[in-house]
Amino acid sequence: MSNREFITSKPRRSIVKLPEKGLKKKDFISSFKEYYVNTLGRDEESLNTHYAYEALGLTVRDRLMEHWKETHHTYKQAKSRRTFYLSMEYLMGRALSNAMISLGITDTATQAMHDIGIEIEELISSEMDAGLGNGGLGRLAACFMDSCATQQLPVIGYGLRYEYGMFTQTIVNGEQVEKPDHWLRLRNVWEVKRLEYEHRVKFCGHTEIQLDIEGRQRVLWIETKDVLAIPYDTPIPGFQNNTVNTLRLWKSVATEEFHLDEFNSGSYVKAVADKVSADNITMVLYPNDANENGKTLRLKQQYFLSSASLQDVISHWVNLYGEDFSQFADKNCFQLNDTHPSIAVAELMRLLVDMHGLSWEMAWQITTATMAYTNHTLLPEALEKWPVDLMQTLLPRLMEIIFEINARFLSEVSIKWPADEEKIRCMSIIEEGDCKQVRMAHLAIVGSFSVNGVAELHTKLLQQKLFADFYDLWPNKFNNKTNGVTPRRWLLECNPELSELITETIGSGWITDLSLLKQLVPYAENRKFRQQWLKIKQAAKQRLADYKKRVHNVDINADALFDVQVKRIHEYKRQLLKVLHVIHLYNLIKQGNTESLVPRCVLIGGKAAPSYDRAKRIIKLINNVSAVINSDPEVQGKLTLLFLPDYNVTAMQEICPGVDLSEQISTAGMEASGTGNMKLMMNGAITIGTLDGANIEIRQQVGDENFFQFGLTEDQVAARRKHYDPCSIIENDEALQQVMNLLECGHFNQFEPGIFTSIIQSLKSPADPWLTIADFRSYIDAQLRVEDAYRDRHHWTKMSIMNVACSGKFSSDRTINDYNQEIWKLHRQPVNPNNAD
Ligand code: 26V
């Protein structure tokens, strides 16, 4: 039987209409027991944490189901315009606690579990992170999903259901060792498999031209190797508003078409095995956040996501409207999360022209009115390019379409700039050369009606540098959407104590309107309030210290200044600058120069791409410096340096509340936005930062007196690169010289000679793109201002309150409303309970 066959006999209503799931404690207990004992077949005597978690997850999911259906029904009835968010990454983290908060059932569930002798915290913390992303870009997609549901917007997320998510990081002898993250090994209670919505995605083969019955030319893409895309849906609950949106992730599955010759020659098992292993497109997430260009499997993943998602949207369209696409662009919008799904531009053309018979002009009109592209990086090595050869082999029809798009686009260019070969060469979607390549960013810009950056400075640089020619041609396409993070996860869930104090003080409206935090401003002057604030921060720091003691057996002084840099390890993010500062402090202590010193605990966490040797060596350096410092009795209690292994979403939730100082120290002009900076601000950390990405806007919001600014600005960086002489800076700065001496004499690698030589050389090179040495002095001075401020704890607390009070802009609700007003133009669709049939 085909999975698309529906039961035709009536009545259906009686099957799908269930009695409401109760929200009382007793309902919870009976649901939980039912799942634990009956569904999961477990023994009531020997309670197992994982299965208890599953049973509670299913119990909670049941309570979402009705709303999920109602939301679906509401959107369908309204025939509303929708946005489809296409992203290769969703860094969702844990779901259970978030779902309970959204439903407003945390207290009841906690009580229910307690009554049957289970501490709910144990179940919550046994959940694996859904780590289907690398860092900022993937987590942003997750925050956006949360905000869209909370804003009651009809937005569907499309992505890939990787079997293996972001690797787990362990540290062995100071070095990063990657372990695969088989997160689906245990059952994922949040997903629902929807076999009835499978699609077929084509690869390889070749094209042929055929005349259709009306005598028009139609291109056929034939003799392809096909892969099936099976959707798995995850509910995305809005905050206490009945809306439950959908995240649809595709899994690749082999078709059941085999090479009959292999069968006939008797190698049945080999034929099946080959088939299954060849088609494992969604097996693993690529763990690099730059520089993975040219890998065939990655291109397959990108096309698989784009094609399956577009086919899904179009088949839904055809079901509702038949073959009339005249309103398609009014009703649908695709937001491309970076260039990763930008092959969607060509795929939509293919589907409309080849599969649905539209003219090229009509299809192009629809495509360029529905696609919108977000850029997330200015790093040249992260800009995607695909060899034309590879595309021709893997996606021959798509390559033809890209050539056609390019030809038409270049004729537009030559009208604007007649006889300007240089413009043509620079703007072309195809990069000429020994290995011709497709520039995916150019395809995305040409095919979209909107191109946005993710912070004001970033957008300005896109317009003036990276995409200046395109900005000249189409100034109105370009716009800024400063990133944000969801306050549900990044304040309410991760910092319940602070959330409670805020709610007691200004009410709970802030949870869905973060601008209301402004009402805390006057309380910064209130002594009693400051004491309560400080007490909560102190308790959070103690929890972090206890956690480090329990898990890593290191002692940290909870009275110390908690100085935190957590993010991917990358040279442009300058973890090295942080290390130079730590070595400088260590040197001061060793010289007995401690009178002005504030006890400090420096925490650094983050993963390095497995193939990024320099980043891995930086991790090794951090761990070696940490080993020397932490084992020195003279230093104890004054300075600690710790590397936090396996930084992920859940780790950030645990870290956030206890941070005093947030390190955002990238080379100006390199960090597109940053979002960790926003999470830490929201939890009352004060930023020490360069004028880069969203730091600039954070400083604007909170005021210079509540922000520690340092370093070269973006234009100073650009100017300095031309005549940069780090060695003379070192010569003229005694403290820096001493720091470099310690590194160079092997103080931190006594038994591992030479392992840091390449790092030292890069710091001292006039070609160092990150200008670390140039910012050293300014950074040290800013850190002195930090120490001055921290010594006056009341003053510090005031700054901390001001940071939270001014963080309203950085809610992803604000970001999503900006996207909606200026790009998506969707209507809110409130979901009325009891509406569904
Ligand atoms: C590139 C690639 C290249 C091929 C292999 C896999 C892969 C995965 C991701 C990327 C692009 C990473 C770009 C990125 O994460 N940008 C970050 O986006 C954040 C959200 O907008 C922003 O806050 C960060 O500043 C920016 O670095």
pLDDT at 1 over 50: no
pLDDT single digits (tens) 355-400? 999 999 999 999 999 999 999 999 988 889 999 999 999 999 999 9
On the 0-12 / 13-18 / 19+ scale of CB atoms within 10 A, 615 is: buried
pLDDT single digits (tens) 561-610? 999 999 999 999 999 999 999 999 999 999 999 988 999 999 999 999 99
Atom of ligand 1 minimally distant from the CA of 88 = 8
**Distance between Cα 378 and ligand 1 center (Å):** 10
Structure letter (DSSP) for residue 806? T
pLDDT at 14 over 70: no
Share of residues in the chain with pLDDT > 70 (%): 95
Distance CA 33, CA 25 (A): 12
Q: What residue's CA is closest to ligand 1, atom 12? A: 289
Which residues neighbour 380 within 8 Å (Cβ) at sequence distance 6 or greater? Answer: none
Nearest 10 degrees: Cα torsion 736, 738, 744, 750: -130
DSSP H or E stretch at residue 203:
strand 199-203
Residue among 377, 480, 612, 696 whose CB has most ligand 1 atoms within 8 A, to mutate: 377
Q: Tell me what the mean pLDDT of segment 650-672 comes to.
A: 98
Is pLDDT larger for residue 582 or for residue 258?
582
Q: Tell me what the mean pLDDT of segment 4-32 comes to.
A: 72
The residues annotated with a catalytic role in the active site are 376, 567-568, 573, 675, 679
Q: Which two tokens stand for residue 216?
A: 């028009």
pLDDT single digits (tens) 747-806? 999 999 999 999 999 999 999 999 999 999 999 999 999 999 999 999 999 999 999 999
**Distance between Cα 608 and ligand 1 center (Å):** 13
Is pLDDT larger for residue 4 or for residue 83?
83
Please, which residues bridge with residue 157 across strands? 85, 247
String of DSSP letters for 230-277: EEEEEEEE-SSSS-EEEEEEEEEEE-S---HHHHHTT-HHHHHHHHHH
pLDDT single digits (tens) 175-187? 999 999 999 999 9
Which residues neighbour 140 within 8 Å (Cβ) at sequence distance 6 or greater? Answer: 337, 376, 454, 483, 675, 812
Q: What residue's CA is closest to ligand 1, atom 24? A: 674
pLDDT single digits (tens) 322-336? 999 999 999 999 999
Distance CA 673, CA 452 (A): 12
Q: What residue's CA is closest to ligand 1, atom 7? A: 289
pLDDT at 15 over 60: no
Q: What residue's CA is closest to ligand 1, atom 9? A: 289
Backbone phi, psi, residue 240, to 5°: 45, 50
With beta carbons less than 8 A apart as the criterion, state whether 837 and 246 touch: no
**Distance between Cα 138 and ligand 1 center (Å):** 8
**Distance between Cα 656 and ligand 1 center (Å):** 22
Please report where in the chains the tokens 């960086």 appear, as a residue. Answer: 717
Residue among 87, 90, 132, 137 whose CB has most ligand 1 atoms within 8 A, to mutate: 137
Atom of ligand 1 minimally distant from the CA of 671 = 25
Atom of ligand 1 minimally distant from the CA of 139 = 20
Helix (H), strand (E), coil (C) string for 31-56: HHHHHHHHHCCCCCCCCCHHHHHHHH
What pLDDT is attached to residue 520? Answer: 98
Share of residues in the chain with pLDDT > 90 (%): 88
**Distance between Cα 376 and ligand 1 center (Å):** 6
Distance CA 491, CA 136 (A): 18
Residue among 289, 336, 480, 566 whose CB has most ligand 1 atoms within 8 A, to mutate: 289
Which residues neighbour 392 within 8 Å (Cβ) at sequence distance 6 or greater? Answer: 399
What pLDDT is attached to residue 44? Answer: 73
With beta carbons less than 8 A apart as the criterion, state whether 743 and 583 touch: yes
Distance CA 427, CA 467 (A): 9
**Distance between Cα 84 and ligand 1 center (Å):** 20
**Distance between Cα 63 and ligand 1 center (Å):** 35
If you average pLDDT over every residue of the chain, what do you get?
A: 95
DSSP H or E stretch at residue 549:
helix 527-552
**Distance between Cα 166 and ligand 1 center (Å):** 14
Respond yes or no on whether the N-terminal peptide bond of residue 11 is cis (omega within 30° of 0).
yes
Output the CA angle 242-248-254, nearest 5 degrees: 155
Q: What residue's CA is closest to ligand 1, atom 16? A: 376
What pLDDT is attached to residue 833? Answer: 76
CA 83 to chain centre: 19
Q: What percent of the chain is helix, strand and coil (3-state, nearest 5)?
A: 50, 15, 30
Atom of ligand 1 minimally distant from the CA of 140 = 20
pLDDT single digits (tens) 420-432? 999 999 999 999 9
Give Cα separations from 724 to 669, 709, 731 (angstroms): 17, 22, 14
Q: Tell me what the mean pLDDT of segment 531-547 comes to.
A: 96
What pLDDT is attached to residue 257? Answer: 76
**Distance between Cα 136 and ligand 1 center (Å):** 6
Atom of ligand 1 minimally distant from the CA of 136 = 19
String of DSSP letters for 107-176: HHHHHHHHHTT--HHHHHTTSPPEEES-SHHHHHHHHHHHHHHHTT--EEEEEE--SBEEEEEEEETTEE
What pLDDT is attached to residue 554? Answer: 83
Is pLDDT larger for residue 213 or for residue 399?
399
CA 450 to chain centre: 21
pLDDT single digits (tens) 493-516? 999 999 999 999 999 999 999 999
Number of residues assigned to the chain: 837
String of DSSP letters for 399-458: HHHHHHHHHHHHHHHHHHSTT-HHHHHHH-SEEPSSS-EEEHHHHHHHH-SEEEESSHHH
pLDDT single digits (tens) 436-474? 999 999 999 999 999 999 999 999 999 999 999 999 999
**Distance between Cα 679 and ligand 1 center (Å):** 18
Q: How many CB atoms lie within 10 A of CB 104?
A: 11
pLDDT single digits (tens) 122-154? 999 999 999 999 999 999 999 999 999 999 999
Q: State the number of CA atoms in the 13 A half-sphere of 27 facing the CB.
A: 12
What pLDDT is attached to residue 555? Answer: 86
Q: Tell me what the mean pLDDT of segment 626-630 comes to.
A: 97
Atom of ligand 1 minimally distant from the CA of 286 = 6
Q: What residue's CA is closest to ligand 1, atom 4? A: 292
DSSP H or E stretch at residue 207:
strand 206-211
Q: Which residues line ligand 1 (CB under 6 A)?
A: 134-137, 140, 286, 288-290, 292, 338, 376-377, 382, 454, 483, 671-675, 693
Q: What residue's CA is closest to ligand 1, atom 14? A: 137
What pLDDT is attached to residue 291? Answer: 64
Atom of ligand 1 minimally distant from the CA of 135 = 15
